[in-house]
A and B are shown apart, each in its own frame.
Chain A
């Protein structure tokens, strides 16, 4: 079975470490915050200028001056700091964020990522995505392995305009967890009940399959 959105978030949460500063993109990446293990403390960075994003507010806490990068109302947790957009991106571009999790349309064997523009469709903008992929050492891309019509999103070469070049090393799809090394995807884990054959069939880019590919386990 392909992973659910929640399971994908749960799997990525296993990459968190106590004391990490983490930037979570919009969509499934946001769900990762729900699976921070007990006893572990991580600080969420929101690129509009908040380090230490807290829960959504109660009615009483609601404040128009307190939003996240998705423009939703939020709160600040204890230990948070607030700053301007240049400082926020200095953190991101300067490589100070420990883990960045974001979505994508395509990734390829050279670590290129396309996530912001589909030619012929209206382009709304890259927001902070290009800064995030260029600045972070440690990025996990969360995406579906193939499109609804079965076309692979793990490619030899991205077909869409890039968000960043040579910057992605780790990808979690609904079928597998893979790493990108020396011009190939390396299959590290597979979703419960998903066969290696299915992953091979749905991966267009060069894929290295180790002898043993463990199945992910979910409680």
Chain B
């Protein structure tokens, strides 16, 4: 096959090269659009001392929450971690380090990391605990803080459809942080619901162009709903 065929045949192959102490960026918002099988593979591999960058840390027993069970995460960089009892306990026991980051800053850190921008100024967090130890600067009379971008050794991403070239589209709000994580991984692994023939995806509608993607695998997904809410 050509060098552009990003498909791999197993989850073991998809996460090959992940080592203790690495930084992993994960797409998803709550349990929506999370790379659930890639997370399960990290659990199976037993890789430890990971720094995980993701908006949230799953729930007890699902999503990134499963990586807490065997204490595989050393440090979590997230904007909100409120849905997870095991997380709270490890945090209070000092087994887990947490760097709380405003959600927009977290998204921009990944985007910037993938775009070759080492740091950026933002008004978000100025005058708050988030600004501690960070350079502050005024532009046009307004205060900003300097935030450093993030690059991951691995990015784990959940897409809807992809072709073998690694072009990816996401479904509805399952997009969230996924395209940003995809940009910022040294090795970006995308699991999708469907791998389609080249040409089936409209080139103008690709969310993540294949240049960001190293490995593609087709999975089956539970897609658990966190807060099932129906119209009355």
Q: Which residues of A contact B (CB under 8 A)?
A: 46-50, 55-59, 62-68, 70-74, 76, 82-86, 88-89, 92-93, 112, 117, 122-131, 134-135, 161-166
* Residues A48 and B80 in contact in the complex (CB < 8 Å), given A84-B175, A86-B180: no
- Can you list 22 A-B contacts with CB-CB less than 8 angstroms, sorted by A residue number? A56-B231, A63-B172, A65-B171, A65-B172, A67-B29, A71-B227, A82-B173, A82-B175, A84-B207, A85-B55, A85-B107, A85-B176, A93-B104, A122-B91, A125-B79, A126-B103, A128-B79, A130-B105, A131-B124, A135-B104, A163-B128, A165-B126
Residues of chain A within 8 A of B174, CB atoms compared: 64-65
> Is B224 within 8 A of A64, CB to CB?
yes
Q: Does B191 contact A (CB under 8 A)?
A: no
- Main SS class of interface, A: loop
* Residues A130 and B107 in contact in the complex (CB < 8 Å), given A62-B228, A67-B173: no
Kindly provide the distance from the CB of A116 to the nearest chain B CB, expressed in whole angstroms. 9
> Is B105 within 8 A of A131, CB to CB?
yes
> Is A125 within 8 A of B100, CB to CB?
yes
Closest to A95 in B: B123
Q: Does B88 contact A (CB under 8 A)?
A: yes
Q: Does B9 contact A (CB under 8 A)?
A: no
Closest to A110 in B: B127
Residues of chain A within 8 A of B226, CB atoms compared: 67, 71
Residue with the highest number of chain A CB atoms closer than 10 Å, among B92, B104, B143, B174: B104
Q: Does B21 contact A (CB under 8 A)?
A: no
Among A71, A76, A163, point to the contact of B32 (Cβ < 8 A): A71
> Is A85 within 8 A of B29, CB to CB?
yes
A75 and B29 CA atoms in complex are apart in Å by: 16
> Is A57 within 8 A of B230, CB to CB?
yes
> Is B122 within 8 A of A134, CB to CB?
yes
* Residues A84 and B124 in contact in the complex (CB < 8 Å), given A65-B32, A65-B171, A122-B91: no
Q: Which chain B residues numbered 170 to 190 have a C-beta less than 8 Å away from chain A?
A: 171-180
Q: Does B16 contact A (CB under 8 A)?
A: no
Closest to B160 in A: A65
Closest to B231 in A: A56
Residue with the highest number of chain B CB atoms closer than 10 Å, among A65, A117, A128: A65
* Residues A165 and B55 in contact in the complex (CB < 8 Å), given A70-B227, A82-B172, A88-B107: no
A57 and B229 CA atoms in complex are apart in Å by: 7
Residues of chain A within 8 A of B223, CB atoms compared: 64-65
Among A55, A58, A84, point to the contact of B180 (Cβ < 8 A): A84
